[in-house]
Every structure is written in structure tokens, then in C-alpha cells.
Structure 1
């Protein structure tokens, strides 16, 4: 998922936000709701935002879904622009574009 940091808020690019599909995969829909539940702002057609206070929870959640084997690494990895330092708390679930 492509991300960027703006004013100490982590934003997931709206095109990379996981989709909720009625009748879809339980794991994918759980992933959608888990991410949405810790976001500070998650508009339907916009970037999802996460305050610094939840970054530890975000990293743990992404790691748990990655290790489950049900979702691909590309779906659970935060991809930062090369000119942005990756915060230490997110380093284990992040890479550069």
C-alpha cells in the first residue's frame, strides 16, 4: 500500500485502501474493518489517515495479517516514497516504492 506522512499523520493512498465486498472473503473484509477501526479518518473515496498514537497497533495488525498467509505481502506492506524516512515503529511492515 502506498503511503505518505503529512503533519505526523500516516495516509494510505485512496487507490490502495483495501476494499470491502459484501459476500467477499472473510479475511479481506476483516482486514478492511480492522484498518478502518483504528483510522482517525477513513472516507469512502479518499485517503485513510492514521494518527501517530495508533502506529504501533497498525504495525502489529499488518504483521498479523501478513503472517496469517491469507493476504499477500503487497497488500500488507506500507510503501513509502524514497525521500521519506520510515518511522522506527513502522519499519518492520514497510519498504520503499
Structure 2
């Protein structure tokens, strides 16, 4: 998922966050609700926002869904711009574009 950090807020690109689909995959819908539950902002047509105080929870959640094997790495890994400084807490689940 494309990500960026501004003013200690992680923004996930709106096109990369999971979608809730009625009658869809239980894993994908659970992933949607888990990510949404800790987001500071999660509007449909805007980037989702995560404040620094939930970054550890975000890291653990993404690692858990990655290890489950049900979702692809591109769906559970944060991709930051090449020049970005990735905070230590997010490094286990992050890479550069």
C-alpha cells in the first residue's frame, strides 16, 4: 500500500486501502474493519490517516495479516517514497517504492 508520513501521521493511499464488500471474503472484510478501527480518518474518497500513537498497533496488525498468507504482500506492506525516512516501529512492515 502506498504510504507517506506528514506531521507524524501515516497516510495510506485511498486506492490501496481494502474495500468492504458485502458478501465478500471474510478475511478481506476483517482486514478492512481492523484497519478502519484504528484509523484517525477513513473516508471513502480520501487517504486513510493513522496517528503516531497507533503505529505499533498498525505494525502488529499488518504483520498478522501478512503472516496469515491470505492476502498478498502488496496489500499488507507499506510502500513509502524513496526519500522517506521510515520510523523504526514501521520498518518491519514497510519498504520504499
TM-score (norm 2): 0.98
Aligned residue in 1 for 2:81:
81
TM-score (norm 1): 0.98
CA distance in structure 2 between the aligned counterparts of 1:12 and 1:90, rounded to whole angstroms = 13
Aligned residue in 2 for 1:37:
37
Cα RMSD (Å): 0.5
Tell me the SS of whatever aligns to 1:5.
strand
Report the number of matched residues: 97
Specify every segment of 5 or more residues in structure 2 that has no aligned partner in the other structure, as ranges.
Answer: none
Specify every segment of 5 or more residues in structure 1 that has no aligned partner in the other structure, as ranges.
Answer: none
CA distance in structure 1 between the aligned counterparts of 2:15 and 2:55, rounded to whole angstroms = 20
Aligned residue in 2 for 1:59:
59
TM superposition outliers: structure 1 runs of 4+ over 6 Å: none
Tell me the SS of whatever aligns to 1:53.
helix
**C-alpha deviation, 1:9, in angstroms:** 0.3
